[in-house]
Amino acid sequence: MERNELIRWMVLNEICDDYENVDQIILPCVATDCAKLGFVVERSHIVNALGELIEGGLAKAYLLSGTKPAEELRGMPLLDVIEEDFKTYFYATPRGKELPLSDESWWPFDDERNPRP
């Protein structure tokens, strides 16, 4: 599997069970997994993957606040700088949630989260 495609799958996997922020959860988790596979992932790779997932109808972006309901954003928000207030979150669409479960052969780790040979 091509590296960008693997990153896209990993990002989708991170946002399937909850709203997640790029800087708070998605980047650290995906970067840790990619390091186990021997390559570095940068924030721009995560942002690009999220944009592709949104464009493909597999994810949506939201503004979250502790005092208001989630506000769905149209398209991919501009995320040029690291968020300090963690307001922008991403969540998989129903179709996006089904995709990783439909074919788990893309997952590069064994049950102990070690890279498969």
pLDDT digits (tens, 9 = 90+) for 77-97: 999 999 888 999 999 999 999
**Residue 11's domain spans which residues?**
3-103
Domain count, the chain: 1
pTM: 0.92
- What the block records as the tokens of 38 is 């021997």
CA distance 95 to 14: 15
Residue 28, domain member (yes or no): yes
pLDDT for residue 17 is more than 80: yes
Residue at token pair 């949104």: 54
> In terms of DSSP H, where are the helices of the chain?
3-14, 27-36, 43-55, 94-102
Average pLDDT over residues 2-30: 96
| CATH number of 87's domain | 1.10.10.10
